[in-house]
Structure 1
Amino acid sequence: MRKYFFPLVVFFLSLTFLTAQKKQITLEEIWGGAFRTERMDVLRSMKDGDHYTVLNFNRNPRSSSLDKYDYRTLEKVETLVTSSEEVPFFSSYEFSDDESKLILATDVESIFRRSKQGIYYVYDLTAKTLTKISENLIQEPELSPDGSKVAYAFDNNLYLFDVAKGETKQITTDGKKGSIINGITDWVYEEEFAFVQAFEWNSDGSKIAFLRFDETHVPHFSMDVYGTDLYPFQHEFKYPKAGEENALVSLHMYDVGSGAIADIDLGDAYYIPRIKWMNNPNHLSVQTINRHQNHLKLHKVDTEDVVTLLLEEKDEAYVDIHDNLTFLKNDGFIWTSERDGFNHLYLYNNDGKLKNQITKGPWEVTAYYGYDANKDRIYYQSVENGSINRDVYGIGSSGKKKKRLTGQEGTNTADFSADYTYFINTFSNATTAPEFTLHRAADGKLVKKIKDNSALAEKLKGYEMAPKEFSTINVSGNDLNMYMIKPIDFDPNKKYPLLMFQYSGPGSQQVANRWMGANDYWHQLLASEGYIIACVDGRGTGLKGRDFKKATYLNLVKYETEDQIAAAKKLSELPYIDEERTGIWGWSFGGHMSTNCLLKGNDTFEMAIAVAPVTSWRFYDTIYTERFMRTPQENPEGYDNESPFNYPELLKGKYLLVHGSGDDNVHVQNTMRMIEALVQANKQFDWAIYPDKNHGIYGGNTRLHLFTKMTKFIKENL
């Protein structure tokens, strides 16, 4: 991104109509879906590379169908299965490796953020037969490569279902709630390592590798569920808070033929965040990492239980876990690393020796799409065209013949066909709602326009829509990315209140050249009410290199808070900002930040809103917190110096504190401790608890109610 110092504008929406001719956005419209964007249906490329499948739904009558489409024409060529009297309504599907069978999901219930359970069926695409896998609500069913069997989890154990015989075999027997989990991750792995299914078939269906979690000594957490019955009840689950015991995790190999289970010795492995079979059915890759998460090892495990170290990643701070790993058919594997200071692609041979660095430069690879062995082309997304933009590229494994495949400046995201002949590009920027187009992977040439949001764009012409102005602001010696939204009738000779928004979490990004989300529409509403909105990505945020991101190591929220306070002071020097009316708001990590800014920056901020905030990292989970802070036993000052309930006496401004009582992620304990500290300091503030609502605080009119409260609070106090 070209560097500018505020208040220079990089680009802006064209505004030519008088304010009186425009409507103001309303909260009811935002949370009622009035500005919902058209999106591409979730599609999956078939192995022939010429076709893809889409799960389509009808509301009246309620039905679902899995349809097959042609990439070149985008026309439907076949319906593979549809719900009927014989086939129940299904909400998701999964192919067997040979695409001869499907798993159809019905009656699915959420457990936590990613986990779910439901009733599942196997549908034979040739015989047109439907077979129920189990009468129970099961988790993560996966077909064997030939589609003859299904492995799944139920009640913390693994099972094997023979489709033809209709017979079920129990693989593990020691599973027990609150103690042993086989093949499914525990809460903290699901939340922080972002996966649920902890078992994998090898390519010939002879082995199943799986993880076993012993959470016997993990402290359990409980939260009251108020519901609608006469008596509330407690929901309990194991939750390891920073410095506490984690589950003991081990790797095992099940032999389908003999039924034997082998235990794999991985030495000093503390976490096992990834397992993935290699191109050989006898070779499994396993990633392990120590508790400090600064020493990652990539192992090869063969079916004779021999473990070989392939690669090590070390960092003075921490190593991020990712899925950017492809094993080549002939020799080697592709991997991403921050070892040169920026996230880039690397090529290794089979024994883990580095062959060459594929991408290089002062920019980050932000997504890895895969490798086309036939053309020796790697496809990826990066911020080479500016840290607030995303583009799609192709490059040879040697690092030569790089080609940019997308041309519009903004955010481009690709979905490639299985044989890398085509990709569907999703493009948006701050002035353009998502557009979906089909391109050739070889050169990025446009094949066909698929869908856009022209109807939404036309609709928004009738509303007060202020420009999102991108620039940078120099704070603490760093040029920080920033955007600003001014009232549509902005007068540089007037003074306006300033509301800052941020998230600030490690590796995150809020200042990005992409289309609006719900918060952006709310910010437009506030701009219509005469507020200036600003967002600054401070130190610790992502896509500007390893050193910038990891500058906050061991002192989470300290430097981030300093940057927001400094940015607010600098913005207050602008002639059109009222320095006596500065507010800040955020959610989750951002709620911690807004609270800290109001207290530690009490000479700068007059108002703050904190939604679902962390108020002490001692209350948050091991994997996330210790990655950035180590343990409280090792780093007590890092934990306590930035915990706002340790200095409630600093509160001077107006403060609104909000939480959901059913938040399994950032527990309402954080807010309750903050409330008690402020009460004992005799500090007045406003607060709201949403019963049984989780970290997202949504459902029915909940979001509308919350943002109505927040809007009223801002109008009355800023």
Structure 2
Amino acid sequence: MKILRILSLFCFLSTSFLTAQNKQITLEEIWSGTFRTEGLDALHSMANGQQYSVLNFDRTKGGTTIDIYDYKTLEKVNTLVSSADLKAIKYFTDYTFSADESQVLLATEEESIFRRSSLGVYYVYNTKTKQTTLVSEDKIQEPTFSPDGTKIAFGLNNNLYVKDLVSGKITQFTFDGVKNKVINGITDWVYEEEFAFVRAFDWNADSNKIAFIRFDETDVPEFSMDVYGKDLYQTQTVFKYPKAGEKNAVVSLHLFDLKSNKLSEVKVDKSYDDFYIPRIKWTNDADVLSAQFMNRHQNQLDLWMINAKKNKATLAVAETDKAYVDVTDNLTFLEDDSFIWTSEKDGYNHIYHYDSKGKLINQITKGNWEVTTYYGYDAKTDQIFYQSVENGSINRDVYSVKLNGTQKRRLTQQTGTNNADFSADFTYFINTYSSATTPYLYTLNDAKSGQVLKSIKDNSALIAGLKDYKLSKKEFSTISINGNDLNMWMIKPANFDASKTYPLFMYQYSGPGSQQVANKWNSANDYWYQMLAQQGYIVACVDGRGTGLKGADFKKVTQNELGKFEIEDQIAAAKLLGSKSYIDSSRIGIWGWSYGGFMSSNALFKGNDVFKMAIAVAPVTSWRFYDSIYTERYMTTPQENASGYDDNSPINHVDKLKGDFLLIHGTGDDNVHVQNTMRMVEALVQANKQFEWMIYPDKNHGIYGGNTRLHLYTKMTNFINRTLGDKL
């Protein structure tokens, strides 16, 4: 009953603050952390299944600790590591346990390279002796314990090394790494960004072999960015960036045998020459490596099983698709080396079970809904745990199901977004729940029944603080556009009067497989939308064709024509919303970032009779300027599909501009290069079109740091008020 009262209290509080006081949200509050939520940082389930660890940061003292908590009581059992006790370390920013948890790898002095990659100084802390050992005098990448905990492999200056933690000896085992030429074991820029991983090496189960991918970037064209900094002369960042249709890095798969100190190359009998290796992973058999190979068009993904002793490769699974095959991290080997695999081959993303040779045993989940996360398999109970949108495409729930596909059980009951972190033995899971009306609620749940056992964190301080503000409800619905029921949310002013008319400001992202209409707690942008609603705007978001979690056909309809159907849907949605009596159809605006900036630009140009204004932040203005892996996945190459690239790129439609246009970019954007904006500016100038633009020196794709976000959102707010808010 106590748990029911806690949840009832949340329902009451989450609705009561919607009609509370009249305090106005400010941009300074949004970007100073006033609305920050509490969470559990770097959560790790201990191997005993009864405890978990969390990284805690003391903001007053500046130190960090790894604290151990008991699942049953949620009480802190002990502090495993405290930076206050370590002479060499002022604080650490992340940690990784060895397999037996007797050692902890502590990350310090981390500096970002690109979106996911970083350099850092790393120490090994021995939990028994309380001693720390510096891994390397240099800043290194991706240090990783061997399974037996006696060694650490890492990347340094494009080569790979192994440190013996017993003797302290460091062995270099690749020697041809050169910046902008050859990389061993660490991904190149485009793999990191589009295949979402950095560590391209893996230990086998016996800790005596390392598999790694080698990237030969020699023939990949270089891209350079000026770095203005604070010195008298600017410097340059130069890196290899394969744009659509250009040469990629030549990748190859290699093995290093620690016993013989020998390197060897692994080849598979594939049917294509231009290819990617998006994943490698050792099976439980120390001599068998799995490797995924994919053709350049990305519509064929092959899973190979490679016997390292015999140097023999066998094709286990071959996935094909008329559009593209998604790469995931869901491949999981069970004790008998049968494996879990996820696929969209029946039209929706589901879980499959194959034997060790690649023969399908059964499809575990089925239905007109998507599996969104695979959590793992518990051999004791023979259960798979996963997250899906079976309870509506804007919601997420946690489920369990037997390996044979029977006895499916929904483990979470609160409608919204649920995400689980399971204990190592699958006895418990910590559920993170939120919705549009409830901030993040962390609870301890029983993995068998899903029952909530205890509340861990409830963000009650934030709830109490929000009661002082005049907030509006985020209304979810569907809108019928071009033969499809599209998910939509809308935020109206709290004092909305249907007899009045309001300007409409639309937001979207629209990229393939994405989702912006989701029943989850506020991001910083949501508070901005609330602020705009307080000022008298209606704000809306529509997920059009090409977005995710409604089946493969809905997602892949945009294939070869990015920006065609998505723009048609946004224009049609704006027209339909503009026909509402309470919306002023002469004052409709749209904005977006990255792919969303590509979209908002096109919406203003192609929908010049519908949209009065648009803001495009860090937009792609021509797909010819963007990287090979992402762009070719959906468009093939420019050489094969020139019209697909050009017909829907906003740079080719600047002559249609009639409304007000604000273009924003960071000069240090390694992802969507500022080249996109510079070429757009030149096209607009030559078309004699007036517009506004803002450049942020040295800022990357996220455009942040210091007061940058505050300045950015102030500029956008002022632009909205000047172009749409003239009658407010």
Q: CA deviation at 1:328?
A: 1.2
Residue 249 of structure 1: aligned partner = 251
Cα distance in structure 2, aligned partners of 1:53 and 1:76: 9
Aligned to 1:43: 43
1:440 aligns with 2:446: yes
In the alignment, the residues of structure 2 paired with residue 583 and residue 115 of structure 1 have an alpha-carbon distance, to the nearest angstrom, of: 36
Q: Distance in 1 between matches of 2:379 and 2:134?
A: 38
- Cα distance in structure 2, aligned partners of 1:543 and 1:12: 30
Corresponding position of 2:152: 150
Counterpart CA distance in 1 for 2:242 and 2:406 is 46
Aligned to 1:705, the other structure's residue is in SS state helix
2:305 corresponds in structure 1 to: 300
Deviations 1:487-507 (A, max 9, x none): 111111111111110000000
Give CA deviations for 1:75-130 in whole Å, capped at 9, x if unaligned: 12122222235341222111111222121111111111110111111222222222
- Map of 2:9 onto structure 1: none
For 1:41, give the aligned amino acid. D
Residues 49 and 64 of structure 1: CA distance in aligned 2, closer, same or farther (over 3 Å): same
Q: TM-score, normalised by structure 1?
A: 0.97
TM-score, length-scaled by structure 2:
0.96
Output the CA distance in 2 between the equivalents of 1:38 and 1:16.
19
Structure 1 match to 2:699: 693
Partner of 2:290: 285
- Superposition map of 1:535-574 within 5 A: 535-574=541-580
The equivalent position to 1:620 in structure 2, one of 604, 608, 626, is 626
Measure, in 2, the Cα distance between the counterparts of 1:58 and 1:459: 23
1:102-121 superposed matches below 5 A = 102-121=104-123
Counterpart of 1:5 in structure 2 is: none
Residue aligning to 1:453: 459
What CA deviation, in whole Å up to 9, does each residue of 1:210-251 have, x standing for no partner?
110000000000010000000001110000000000000111
CA contact (8 A) 2:283 2:337 kept: no
Work out whether residues 272 and 289 of structure 1, in 8 Å CA contact, stay in contact via their aligned partners in 2. yes
SS at match of 1:146: coil
What SS does the aligned partner of 2:352 have? strand
Distance in 2 of aligned mates of 1:266 and 1:68: 45
Provide the rounded CA distance (Å) in 1 between the counterparts of 2:24 and 2:257: 64
| Alignment correspondent of 1:220 | 222
Structure 1 segment 7-86 matched on structure 2, within 5 A:
14=15, 21-83=21-83, 84-86=85-87
Structure 2 CA distance for aligned equivalents of residues 67 and 611 of structure 1: 40
Q: Please state how far the C-alpha of 1:609 moved relative to its aligned partner.
A: 0.4
8 Å CA contact 2:14, 2:438 repeated in 1: no
Q: 1:17 to 1:168 in 2, by over 3 A?
A: closer
Is 1:485 aligned to 2:487, yes or no? no
CA distance in 2, matches of 1:68, 1:17: 37
Where 2:454 maps in the other structure, the secondary structure is strand
Among candidates 581, 590, 593, match of residue 596 of structure 2 = 590
Q: Secondary structure in 1 aligned to 2:238?
A: strand
**Distance in 2 between the 1:485 and 1:100 partners?**
51
Tell me how far apart the structure 1 counterparts of residues 389 and 44 of structure 2 sit (CA, whole Å): 26
Q: Distance in 2 between matches of 1:535 and 1:60?
A: 40
Q: Which amino acid aligns with 1:370?
A: G
Letter in 1 for 2:627: D
- Give SS of 2:439's match: strand
Q: Paired residue for 2:234, among 232, 235, 241?
A: 232
Alignment match, 2:188: 186
SS in 1 for 2:557: helix
Amino acid at match of 2:631: T
Question: 2-side partners of 1:262 and 1:38: how far apart?
Answer: 48
State the partner residue of 1:3: none
1:577 maps to which residue? 583
Amino acid at match of 1:643: S
Label 1:13 to 1:652 Cα distance change in 2 as closer, same or farther (>3 A).
farther
What does 1:464-503 align with in structure 2 at a 5 Å threshold? 464-503=470-509
Compared CA separation, residues 42 and 215, structure 1 to 2 (3 A) = same
How many residue pairs match? The answer is 707
In the alignment, the residues of structure 1 paired with residue 579 and residue 438 of structure 2 have an alpha-carbon distance, to the nearest angstrom, of 32
1:570: how far off? 0.6
Q: Deviations over 1:262-299 (max 9, x none)?
A: 10002346100001111111111111100000000001
- Is the CA contact (8 Å cut-off) linking 1:224 and 1:232 kept in structure 2? yes
What is the CA–CA distance in structure 1 between the aligned matches of 2:45 and 2:307, rounded to whole Å? 31
Unaligned 5+ segments in structure 1 are: 1-10
Aligned to 2:644: 638
Aligned with 1:136 (options 124, 135, 138) = 138
Residue 101 of structure 1 corresponds to which residue in structure 2? 103
1:422-450 per-position Cα deviation (integer Å, ceiling 9, x unaligned) = 00000111111110000110110111111
Letter in 2 for 1:556: L
After superposing the two structures, state which structure 1 stretch, 663-672 or 67-76, moved more: 67-76
The separation in 2 between residues aligned to 1:608 and 1:404, in whole angstroms, is 42
The one-letter amino acid paired with 2:294 is I
- Match for residue 531 of structure 1 among 537, 543, 550: 537
- Larger deviation: 125-134 or 577-586? 125-134
Counterpart contact for 1:12–1:469, Cα < 8 Å: no
Distance 1:630 1:85 in 2: 53
Shift of 1:470: 0.6
Task: Indicate if the aligned counterparts of 1:599 and 1:648 stay in contact, CA closer than 8 A.
Answer: yes
Contiguous gaps of at least 5 residues in structure 2: 1-11
Secondary structure of 2:712's aligned partner: helix
Return the offset for 1:684.
0.6
Distance 2:677 2:337 in 1: 53
- 1:276 matches 2:276: no
**What is the CA–CA distance in structure 1 between the aligned matches of 2:19 and 2:183, rounded to whole Å?**
62
Amino acid at match of 2:620: V
Cross-structure match for 1:91: 93
What is the CA-CA distance between 1:17 and the residue it aligns to? 8.6
Whole-angstrom distance in 2 between the partners of 1:438 and 1:12: 21
> For the Cα contact (< 8 Å) 1:12–1:468, is it kept in 2?
no
Counterpart of 1:658, as a letter, is I
Matched position secondary structure for 1:393:
strand
Deviations 1:143-195 (A, max 9, x none): 11222111111000001111222211110011111101001000000000000
**How far has the Cα of 1:18 moved from its partner?**
7.8
Specify the SS of the correspondent of 1:712.
helix
Within 2, Cα distance between the matches of 1:71 and 1:255? 41
| Cross-structure match for 2:610 | 604
Deviation sequence 1:555-599 (CA, Å, 0-9, x none): 001110000000100111111111111100000000000000000
TM-superposed deviation, 1:41: 2.7
* Segment drifting more, 126-135 vs 189-198: 126-135
Q: Separation in 2 of the partners of 1:645 and 1:87? A: 53
Query: Within 2, Cα distance between the matches of 1:717 and 1:325?
Result: 50
Q: Partners in 1 of 2:619 and 2:183 — Cα distance? A: 30
Is the alpha carbon distance of 1:103 and 1:515 closer, same or farther for their aligned partners in structure 2, counting shifts above 3 Å? same
1:510 aligned residue: 516
Query: Residue 195 in 1 paired to residue 197 in 2?
Result: yes
Letter in 2 for 1:278: T
Distance 1:147 1:634, change over 3 A: same
Structure 1 distance, partners of 2:679, 2:78, is: 58
Q: Deviations over 1:631-677 (max 9, x none)?
A: 00000000001111212110000000000010000000000011011
**Structure 2 Cα separation of the partners of residues 12 and 168 of structure 1:** 57
